[in-house]
C-alpha cells in the first residue's frame, strides 16, 4: 500500500461544541460540503504494544483490526514527521494490509520489529475500539483530501493472548508472543473505563509539498491556533496518538518539540468584570491567502489585544494586472487602501468601528528589477504592504521579501501589456502548478508565510509609532 502524508488532529467533542473550530466546520458545510460523501459507520480495534524489540514508539505504530474483524489486520508505520510550528501533526505513514497474519509476523515482515531470537517478547498494553463516521471532501484543495471523523472511543479488554508463548517466563500479566503461532484473540468491553467522544480533522495527500500548501490554504492552522489560545486542547498526530492518550492519559510524541508556544490569556481578560481591549482588521482584498496572513501576523504581534472582527473588502488597484516596478506597485497598494478606508467610514455602524483599534491593511504585489550591478536573469516578486490605524491615522509601509522571477516571464507580460501575471505565465509554461501562489514551488515558502513575516514587522513598527505619539496600546 502507498505511503501518504497525513495531517491529523483530535479534539474532544464537548470542547468542540460552540468553539471557533465548530464554527469553521459549520461554514464548510454552509459553503457546499458534499454530504453524499459521508462514509458508512465503521468500528476499528487498535492494539497498543510495547517491547524491547520494537523499532517504533507506540504512537508510531497503528495496529488495527479494520471493521473489528480479526481476519482483517492492518499496520500503519510512521516513517517521517514534519517539523516546525506550522507543520506539527503532519506525518508520513507507510500502510500495509496483513489480512489474517499474526501481529508479530506483521511487525517483523514490515520492519517494525527486529527479530533477535526465536521468540520475540512483545507485550500488549491495551486495546481501544474506535467507531467512526467519516465525511470526506476535497474542500477545494488542489491535491489533498479533507476528512472529519466523529468518533466513539472505548477501551477493550483482550480476552485471549495474541499468541501462545513458548517462553516459560510468560504469564497472564505480560503476554509474550511466539511469532510462529497465529492469533487467538477476542475482545470484551471494559466497563470500568467510560467511553469518550472525539472529533478528528485531517488533510491527507501523497506529496509533501502539495500537502503542506493545502494545509495552509484551507485555514485549519489559523483556527487551531486561536482555539488553543482560548485554552482548547488539541491532540496532534495519527490514530496511534489518540489510542496512546486514551489508554495512558498522556502521550510522548514527536510533536512535543514543535508545539506552539501560545501566550497564556491575561488574568484580566479571563475575568468577567473586565472587558478585553479588542481590535478590528479590515483588508483591501477577499483573498484567503492575504486574510490568513494578516490574521496570523496581527494576533502574534498584538498578543495583549483580542481580535474582534476581520473583514475583507474587494477593491481595485487602478493599475495593470501585472505591476512592474516599485512606483506602480506602491500606487496600487495606496489606491486599494483609499477605497477600503472610504468604504469602512461610510459603513462604520455595520463594522463596529467604535472599537479603539481599527487597522486597515492593503497589499499589492509586483515585480522589481534587481539592484544596479551585473546583468541579472531575474526580477523579484515583492509585495508592498500598507497598514493604517483608523483612529490615529498613523501609517506604516514596508515591502516583503522578494522571490526571484525569471526575466523572460516579466518581458512576456510586458509584451502582453501587463494583462497577464508572471504567475499565470509560469503556470501556462508548466513551471508552477498554482498561478496565484507560485512562491512555494519556487523557493519552498508559501506566499502566505512570506506576507506574514513582513506583516508582523509592520504591526510591531506601527504599535511603536503609536506609543511614541501617546496613543495607548496595551
Residue 131 and residue 278 share a domain: no
**pTM higher than the cut 0.85:** no
- 51-65, 104-118, 199-213, 297-311: the lowest-pLDDT one: 104-118
Q: For residue 228, what pLDDT band results from cuts at 50, 70 and 90?
A: confident
Per-residue model confidence (pLDDT) at position 271 = 32
User: What's the residue count for the chain?
Assistant: 474
Greatest alpha-carbon pair distance for the chain in Å reads 84
Per-residue model confidence (pLDDT) at position 156 = 75
Residue 270 and residue 250 share a domain: no
Query: What are 56-93's pLDDT values in tens digits?
Result: 676 778 888 888 777 888 888 887 777 655 677 788 88
Residue 251 and residue 280 share a domain: no
Q: Which residues span the domain enclosing 169?
A: 3-256
In a domain, 473, yes or no: no
Whether 63 contacts 244, CB under 8 Å: no
Per-residue model confidence (pLDDT) at position 160 = 55
CA distance 1 to 419: 46
Integer angstrom CA distances of residue 28 from 7, 24, 161, 288, 466: 18, 6, 45, 14, 38
In a domain, 75, yes or no: yes
In a domain, 38, yes or no: yes
Residue 107 and residue 234 share a domain: yes
Residue 437 and residue 394 share a domain: yes
Residue 72 and residue 41 share a domain: yes
Query: What are 276-328's pLDDT values in tens digits?
Result: 478 889 999 988 888 888 988 888 788 777 788 889 999 999 999 999 999 99
pLDDT at 187 > cutoff 50 = yes
In a domain, 446, yes or no: yes
Per-residue model confidence (pLDDT) at position 424 = 93
List of residues 6+ apart from 118 with CB closer than 8 A: 166, 178, 180
| 314-346 CB burial, b ≥16 within 10 A, e <16 | ebebebbebbbeeebbbbbbbbbbbbbbebbee
In a domain, 474, yes or no: no
CA distance 49 to 44: 16
In a domain, 20, yes or no: yes
- Select from 195, 223, 256 the last residue of a domain: 256
Assign residue 27 the CATH number of its domain: 2.40.320.10
Helix (H) or strand (E) holding 235: strand 235-236
Integer angstrom CA distances of residue 93 from 2, 133, 276: 9, 21, 43
Residue 297 and residue 252 share a domain: no
- Residue 113 gets the label, from left (phi > 0), alpha (psi -120 to 50) or beta, of beta
> Residue range 200-217: average pLDDT?
81
- Select from 200, 224, 256 the last residue of a domain: 256
Assign residue 416 the CATH number of its domain: 3.90.950.10
The partner residues of 164 in beta bridges, in order of sequence, read none
Residue 39 and residue 131 share a domain: yes
- Residue 363 gets the label, from left (phi > 0), alpha (psi -120 to 50) or beta, of beta
The partner residues of 65 in beta bridges, in order of sequence, read 45, 73
Residue 273 and residue 248 share a domain: no
- Select from 232, 256, 280 the last residue of a domain: 256
Residue 289 and residue 217 share a domain: no
The domain tally of the chain equals 2
In a domain, 414, yes or no: yes
Amino acid at each position: 500500500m502507498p505511503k501518504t502524508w497525513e495531517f491529523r488532529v483530535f479534539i474532544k467533542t464537548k470542547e468542540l461544541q460552540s468553539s471557533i473550530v465548530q464554527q469553521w466546520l459549520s461554514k464548510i458545510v454552509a459553503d457546499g460540503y458534499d454530504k453524499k460523501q459521508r462514509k458508512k459507520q465503521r468500528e476499528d480495534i487498535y492494539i497498543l504494544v510495547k517491547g524491547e524489540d520494537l523499532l517504533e514508539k507506540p504512537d508510531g505504530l497503528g495496529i488495527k483490526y479494520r471493521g473489528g474483524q480479526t481476519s482483517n489486520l492492518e499496520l500503519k508505520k510512521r516513517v517521517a514527521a514534519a517539523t516546525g510550528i506550522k507543520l506539527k501533526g503532519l506525518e508520513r505513514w507507510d500502510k500495509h494490509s496483513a489480512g489474517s497474519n499474526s501481529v508479530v509476523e506483521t511487525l517483523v515482515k514490515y520492519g517494525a520489529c527486529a527479530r533477535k531470537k526465536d521468540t520475540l517478547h512483545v507485550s500488549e498494553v491495551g486495546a481501544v475500539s474506535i467507531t467512526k463516521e467519516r465525511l470526506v471532501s476535497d474542500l477545494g484543495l488542489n491535491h489533498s483530501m479533507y476528512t472529519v471523523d466523529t468518533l466513539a472511543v472505548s477501551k477493550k479488554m483482550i480476552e485471549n493472548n495474541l499468541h501462545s508463548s513458548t517462553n516459560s517466563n510468560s504469564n497472564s500479566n505480560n503476554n509474550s508472543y511466539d511469532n510462529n503461532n497465529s492469533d487467538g484473540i477476542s475482545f470484551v468491553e471494559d466497563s470500568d473505563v467510560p467511553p469518550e467522544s472525539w472529533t478528528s480533522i485531517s488533510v491527507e495527500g501523497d506529496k509533501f509539498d502539495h500537502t503542506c500548501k493545502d494545509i495552509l490554504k484551507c485555514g485549519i492552522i489559523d483556527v487551531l491556533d486561536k482555539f488553543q489560545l482560548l485554552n482548547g486542547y488539541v491532540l496532534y498526530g495519527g490514530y496511534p496518538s489518540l489510542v496512546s492518550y486514551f489508554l495512558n492519559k498522556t502521550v510522548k510524541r514527536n510533536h512535543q518539540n514543535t508545539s506552539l508556544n501560545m501566550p497564556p490569556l491575561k488574568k484580566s481578560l479571563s475575568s468577567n468584570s473586565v472587558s478585553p481591549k479588542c481590535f478590528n482588521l479590515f483588508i483591501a482584498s477577499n483573498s484567503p491567502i492575504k486574510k490568513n496572513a494578516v490574521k496570523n501576523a496581527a494576533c502574534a504581534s498584538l498578543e495583549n489585544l483580542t481580535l474582534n472582527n476581520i473583514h475583507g473588502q474587494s477593491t481595485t488597484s487602478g493599475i495593470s494586472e501585472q505591476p512592474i516596478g516599485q512606483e506602480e506597485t506602491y500606487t496600487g497598494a495606496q489606491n486599494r487602501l483609499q477605497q477600503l478606508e472610504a468604504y469602512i467610514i461610510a459603513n462604520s455602524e455595520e463594522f463596529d468601528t467604535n472599537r479603539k483599534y481599527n487597522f486597515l491593511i492593503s497589499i499589492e504585489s509586483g515585480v522589481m528589477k534587481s539592484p544596479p550591478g551585473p546583468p541579472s536573469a531575474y526580477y523579484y516578486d515583492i509585495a508592498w504592504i500598507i497598514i493604517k490605524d483608523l483612529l490615529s491615522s498613523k501609517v506604516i509601509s514596508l515591502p516583503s521579501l522578494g522571490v526571484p522571477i525569471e526575466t523572460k516571464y516579466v518581458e512576456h507580460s510586458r509584451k502582453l501589456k501587463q494583462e497577464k501575471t508572471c504567475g499565470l505565465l509560469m503556470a501556462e509554461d508548466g513551471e508552477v502548478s498554482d498561478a496565484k501562489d507560485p512562491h512555494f514551488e519556487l523557493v519552498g515558502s508559501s506566499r502566505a508565510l512570506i506576507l506574514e513575516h513582513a506583516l508582523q514587522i509592520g504591526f510591531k513598527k506601527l504599535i511603536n509609532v503609536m506609543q511614541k505619539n501617546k496613543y495607548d496600546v496595551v
